[in-house]
A and B are shown apart, each in its own frame.
Chain A
């Protein structure tokens, strides 16, 4: 599966003494408080935790969406905390793939165009883009739905499009924030299987935030975020 998108090479994630807080009217709200994390290259980690524990914050920092207030985030030997501007955009574009609970598809684009958009950002030539989008959508079982727009797809289908898009530039790391949070049981099962196959076939390093036990059960390591730190679940 997903032959078209052979990842470059799985990379390890090392997080040390990660601190993050948000400014609120009531003063700084500490969310991550000296968090450490080690994921080996090709590892599969599931993170759970109460609502508001800081799971999305952690994933945003790993994905280069949010800059941590302190600490090191080393992904494939690069300290993400030190990246900015175009370097950071390049990191988001090619090192990581991000999957959102709300799918994050552009409603004005078809499934294929959504996947192609990720390739376009990486300046993949037009011909190759089309071929790659077609292969990726076939790999997630949506070859019949490439011309559909997100509003014409079910939640499970949307999330599969989103996963195809996340894989578009052959990331070394796939980050998923409650990917099944909005899905029914069948779709959850299908997405879980898809993530597992990506992990298995591509030795892609996977970090998944989830409350779903079945999804978490497929991970090789299960952690929980509590009081700003990660502990074994």
Chain B
């Protein structure tokens, strides 16, 4: 008997005795469902949490400030910088040349005096963060609504959710500000003007998007070209009044290391070059450890369910074989070899496992969706972005292939027992 014939026979056996197979299929299915749901939820949660920590940017990111390192802060995530130190293209090149550094993106943050369109909201002081908008993939920036300002644009800006809060708007409805305009001024000191010594360089900017960003503290994101113009104009007046001009070309750099485990060594080398760094490396490492534990616990629960299911398959198959002794005897009496019988029962077990896997993964996916929608409701209520559940191909194929293999394994003992039954079972008791 060929494998194909065995498969046909087993498929008939399962489909035409489905009432009996259904419980076994369900047991496997529910176990597979549990495992699928747990793994889907665990992996989704992991991506979600890590994304939140890195604001959608690279996990191995390091912020370098235009300041000397404070020796007492070197190994801390949120290191307090030492005295100011100029950061220019030369320093950026030296850092970029370090081993394990993937990219270095300069950041220019400038103070801005902001007049929002809403007359009820008082003008306020904040920071415009200027970056090379061609390289946002290497920065901790996520677009929540709309788009990023065009690279090089001088009259386009994106804002953070903080800006919405400032305007007394719901941060969950970012579309409200996209398309509105805001006036931002860079201030400059004019000592010759006497009492009224401060003047502003005004820009009417179109808000094109809402972002979450951690490139530098600030509610406005603009092109580095805008920030450089504003900075140069301000610097031309020198320090005076409340204005303090820095001579640093960049206010900071965002450096990406080759991996999370390289963040520490790279930070040490940047410290050696003479700049203060900060990175959420300790936080991310801790969170990852916790997530790993959660994943292990969830997988263990799923695995126990699968073991229980496989014991169920084994006992159901043993019972079926006890019931089908005569049928097996007849198979042998009409010439089936031991391995033909073995084949039929192994294939039958696999068919049950496969069906259970398909049913179970589908159910598991549905469970994961339900859980996610509940979680999303909670996240939204907390003012956080929801989770998008991705149908993971490895989890689905793993669920189906795994259940099939498990059932196959559980079927080995019963199938061997069936194969060893004597042909005389065909006439026993007749």
- What CA separation (Å) do A66 and B427 show in the bound complex? 10
Instruction: Write out the residue numbers on chain B whose beta carbons fall within 8 Å of the beta carbon of A59.
Output: 427
| Minimum Cβ distance to chain A for residue B18 (Å) | 10
Contact code string A83-97 (vs B, CB < 8 Å = 1, else 0):
001100110111000
8 Å CB contact of A92 from B2, B12, B334, B422: B334
- What CA separation (Å) do A107 and B336 show in the bound complex? 17
Q: Are A90 and B335 in contact (CB under 8 A)?
A: yes
- What CA separation (Å) do A169 and B334 show in the bound complex? 10
Does B243 count as interface, using CB distance less than 8 angstroms? Answer: no
Does B1 count as interface, using CB distance less than 8 angstroms? Answer: yes
Does B332 count as interface, using CB distance less than 8 angstroms? Answer: yes
Closest to A98 in B: B333
Q: Are A56 and B430 in contact (CB under 8 A)?
A: yes
Contact code string B117-132 (vs A, CB < 8 Å = 1, else 0):
0000000000000000
- What CA separation (Å) do A107 and B426 show in the bound complex? 14
Q: Are B1 and A98 in contact (CB under 8 A)?
A: no
- What CA separation (Å) do A100 and B424 show in the bound complex? 12
Instruction: Write out the residue numbers on chain A whose beta carbons fall within 8 Å of the beta carbon of B335.
Output: 89-90, 92-94, 118, 121-122, 169
Instruction: Write out the residue numbers on chain B whose beta carbons fall within 8 Å of the beta carbon of A139.
Output: none
Does B409 count as interface, using CB distance less than 8 angstroms? Answer: no
Does A106 count as interface, using CB distance less than 8 angstroms? Answer: yes
Q: Are A100 and B340 in contact (CB under 8 A)?
A: no
| Minimum Cβ distance to chain A for residue B20 (Å) | 11
Near B by CB (< 8 A), chain A positions 152-208 give: 165-166, 169, 177-178
- What CA separation (Å) do A107 and B320 show in the bound complex? 14
- What CA separation (Å) do A123 and B2 show in the bound complex? 8
8 Å CB contact of B423 from A65, A102, A123: A65
Q: Are B12 and A104 in contact (CB under 8 A)?
A: no
Instruction: Write out the residue numbers on chain B whose beta carbons fall within 8 Å of the beta carbon of A86.
Output: 337
Does B9 count as interface, using CB distance less than 8 angstroms? Answer: yes
- What CA separation (Å) do A178 and B429 show in the bound complex? 13
Instruction: Write out the residue numbers on chain A whose beta carbons fall within 8 Å of the beta carbon of B17.
Output: 108
- What CA separation (Å) do A207 and B333 show in the bound complex? 16
Q: Are B333 and A109 in contact (CB under 8 A)?
A: no
Does B232 count as interface, using CB distance less than 8 angstroms? Answer: no
Q: Are B424 and A89 in contact (CB under 8 A)?
A: no
Closest to A66 in B: B424
| Minimum Cβ distance to chain B for residue A167 (Å) | 11
Does B330 count as interface, using CB distance less than 8 angstroms? Answer: yes
Instruction: Write out the residue numbers on chain B whose beta carbons fall within 8 Å of the beta carbon of A7.
Output: none
Q: Are B426 and A98 in contact (CB under 8 A)?
A: yes
Instruction: Write out the residue numbers on chain B whose beta carbons fall within 8 Å of the beta carbon of A169.
Output: 335
Does A212 count as interface, using CB distance less than 8 angstroms? Answer: no
Does A143 count as interface, using CB distance less than 8 angstroms? Answer: no
| Minimum Cβ distance to chain B for residue A186 (Å) | 23
Instruction: Write out the residue numbers on chain B whose beta carbons fall within 8 Å of the beta carbon of A149.
Output: 16
Does A135 count as interface, using CB distance less than 8 angstroms? Answer: no
5 other A-B residue contacts (CB within 8 Å) besides A65-B422, A100-B333? A59-B427, A89-B338, A92-B335, A104-B333, A105-B330
The 6 closest A-B pairs by CB, nearest first: A93-B335, A104-B330, A65-B423, A108-B16, A89-B337, A92-B335
Instruction: List, sorted by A's number, 18 A–B pairs whose CB atoms are closer than 8 Å.
Output: A56-B427, A56-B430, A63-B333, A65-B423, A65-B426, A89-B332, A92-B333, A92-B334, A92-B335, A102-B430, A104-B326, A106-B330, A117-B334, A120-B2, A123-B2, A169-B335, A177-B430, A178-B430
